[in-house]
Amino acid sequence: MKRSPKLTKQKIVGAAVELFDSQGFDGTTVRQIACKAGVNVALISYYFKNKKGLLEWVMVDYYEGMFHRLDACRYDSEWESLSELLHSMAENMVRFQCESYRVTRLIQRELSVESMLGREIMSTYLARLKHYFAAIIEEGITEGEFPALEVNGIVIQLLAIISFPYSYPQIIREVFYLEPLDERFVEQMVCYTSDFLRQMLTPINTLR
Amino acid sequence: MKRSPKLTKQKIVGAAVELFDSQGFDGTTVRQIACKAGVNVALISYYFKNKKGLLEWVMVDYYEGMFHRLDACRYDSEWESLSELLHSMAENMVRFQCESYRVTRLIQRELSVESMLGREIMSTYLARLKHYFAAIIEEGITEGEFPALEVNGIVIQLLAIISFPYSYPQIIREVFYLEPLDERFVEQMVCYTSDFLRQMLTPINTLR
């Protein structure tokens, strides 16, 4: 029987994500990953070079998937206002993070460490993510749809709100008694994010 | 010359925080901490039992310090409205996280790992933190100062916004080109948090 390289890669990645997430990147060995995936250590070297290469693959795959979803909002679907586009992008990001919650948490944790890989991911993907949201908000400000807000501030807060429950699912579970992967919580998160955007982007003169 | 136990403890804690933060908890050995602090390994066992005991000490000290600040807002100072109290508590939390940014980042990272220590911290300190903010918001809703919002949602978002820049200072620096420890950024963060609270807690009927 011939082995499928795609399936083997998936098995290795799945095992790595689980171990990195539960034991930490530093606390995990290539041997443990091979053992959990049921493959030879040499196969990991062949596909990913080393443990760092594996983590890089996981991060790149994650962000490529996220941008695929965000691009679908931006370019493929119809939206009537920039506000509607923002809401739809935020919703897709919430759903994407929930679907890949283990990888989300793993990547957020790794991004809190000062490392070369982290910096590469920041300058490639997080800068692009910031640009996606900032460009829409800036356009809305120019066109008068949104008030003249501090764009960096809104984007930082939006990213914070979207990622928190999936970076810290235990806090949501143990402290707020909510189930972060439950569809009802996801719906709530989408509402929270929408409320946040609507409240923050409502022109101030109608507010006070 | 007699050694000061307090100073020695501080030296050990300082070395541990630096190493845990840069190499991860799992990637750090007690020997490395002793070496960096310039003390004998036996002294670490004497004061903290082991590496986990040291991390626990750091976490407890951090949250005790934070609650000391929050209690000063709640009980010691004068405030004219619940909204003013909330703003002042949020400001003090931002400033506290900035002052202890290394420990903030370290603790947030450790809380993203599922561990017994993490769960203990959540059930002791994070539950108390949630209660502090939730109780004020609930009182404001009962008294009609705030609209009838979903309290858990607001508290999750507030904690997310306050902790994000200090859990991910590299993202703020590399992606937003802002200096997370600069007093101007801290002022901005205080404003963002205040804006968030004001916008979210403005009664909805005056909004739409």
- Segment A63-113, tens digit of pLDDT: 999 999 999 998 877 888 999 999 999 999 999 999 999 999 999 999 998
Q: Counting one residue from A and one from B, how many pairs have CB atoms under 8 Å apart?
A: 144
Average pLDDT of chain B? Answer: 90
Residue B7 has pLDDT above 70, yes or no: yes
B44 and B103 co-located in one domain: no
- pLDDT given for residue A148 in this prediction: 86
Question: Which three-class secondary structure state does DSSP give residue B113?
Answer: coil
A161: chain B residues, CB-CB within 8 Å: 156-157, 160-161
Query: CB distance B167–A123 less than 8 Å?
Result: no
In a 10 Å sphere around its CB, with 0-12 CB exposed, 13-18 middle and 19+ buried, how is residue A186 labelled? buried
Q: How far apart are CA B83 and CA B201, in angstroms?
A: 8
Query: CB distance B26–A22 less than 8 Å?
Result: no
A71 and A144 co-located in one domain: yes
Residue B201 has pLDDT above 70, yes or no: yes
Residue A196 has pLDDT above 50, yes or no: yes
A88 and A40 co-located in one domain: no
B22: chain A residues, CB-CB within 8 Å: 113-114
What is the domain extent for residue B170? 58-206
Our CA-based measurement puts residue A22 at a distance from the nearest CA of chain B, in whole angstroms, of 7
Query: CB distance B111–A170 less than 8 Å?
Result: yes
The percent of residues in chain A predicted with pLDDT above 70, rounded, is 96
Q: How far apart are CA A46 and CA B48, in angstroms?
A: 44
**Residues A155 and A137: beta-carbon distance below 8 Å:** yes
The percent of residues in chain B predicted with pLDDT above 90, rounded, is 72
A132 and A163 co-located in one domain: yes
**Residues B96 and B65: beta-carbon distance below 8 Å:** yes
Closest by CA position to A158, among listed A181, A124, A187, A133: A133
Q: How far apart are CA B50 and CA A23, in angstroms?
A: 19
- pLDDT given for residue B207 in this prediction: 45
Closest by CA position to B94, among listed B190, B194, B192, B195: B190
Q: The domain spanning residue A38 has which CATH number? A: 1.10.10.60
Residues of B (39-98) whose Cβ lies below 8 Å from A:
none
B155 and B184 co-located in one domain: yes
**Residues A88 and A23: beta-carbon distance below 8 Å:** no
B32 and B120 co-located in one domain: no
Closest by CA position to A112, among listed B18, B164, B25: B164
**Is B35 in CB contact (< 8 Å) with chain A?**
no
Residues of A (162-201) whose Cβ lies below 8 Å from B:
163-165, 167-168, 170-172, 174-176, 178, 188, 191-192, 195-196, 199-200
Q: The domain spanning residue B77 has which CATH number? A: 1.10.357.10
| End-to-end Cα, chain B, rounded Å | 71
Q: How far apart are CA B138 and CA A198, in angstroms?
A: 22
A160 and A122 co-located in one domain: yes
A41 and A124 co-located in one domain: no
Query: CB distance B174–A207 less than 8 Å?
Result: no
A3 and A24 co-located in one domain: yes
In a 10 Å sphere around its CB, with 0-12 CB exposed, 13-18 middle and 19+ buried, how is residue B111 labelled? buried
Q: How far apart are CA B23 and CA B183, in angstroms?
A: 28
B126 and B36 co-located in one domain: no
B72 and B164 co-located in one domain: yes
Q: Given pLDDT bands bounded at 50, 70 and 90, which one contains residue B2?
A: low
Q: How many domains does chain B have?
A: 2
Query: CB distance B161–A165 less than 8 Å?
Result: no
Q: How far apart are CA A48 and CA A9, in angstroms?
A: 9
**Residues A10 and A22: beta-carbon distance below 8 Å:** no
* Nearest-CB residue to A161 (from B157, B202, B206): B157
What is the predicted ipTM? 0.89
Q: How far apart are CA A199 and CA B147, in angstroms?
A: 13
Q: What is the DSSP string of B7-47?
A: HHHHHHHHHHHHHHHHH-STT--HHHHHHHHTS-HHHHHHH
B94 and B45 co-located in one domain: no
Query: CB distance A160–B155 less than 8 Å?
Result: no
Q: Given pLDDT bands bounded at 50, 70 and 90, which one contains residue A128?
A: very high
Of the two residues B149 and A178, the one the predictor is more confident about is A178
Q: Given pLDDT bands bounded at 50, 70 and 90, which one contains residue A175?
A: very high
**Is B134 in CB contact (< 8 Å) with chain A?**
no
Our CA-based measurement puts residue A29 at a distance from the nearest CA of chain B, in whole angstroms, of 12
Our CA-based measurement puts residue A167 at a distance from the nearest CA of chain B, in whole angstroms, of 6
Q: Where are the alpha helices (DSSP H) in B80-182?
A: 82-99, 101-111, 116-121, 127-142, 151-167, 169-176
- pLDDT given for residue A208 in this prediction: 39
- pLDDT given for residue A203 in this prediction: 65
Of the two residues B69 and B149, the one the predictor is more confident about is B69
State the average pLDDT over residues A3-13. 87
Query: CB distance B155–A161 less than 8 Å?
Result: no
> What predicted TM-score, i.e. pTM, was given to this entire model?
0.91
- pLDDT given for residue B202 in this prediction: 77
Q: How many CB atoms lie within 10 A of CB A109?
A: 23
* Nearest-CB residue to A126 (from B26, B175, B188): B175
Query: CB distance A174–B26 less than 8 Å?
Result: no
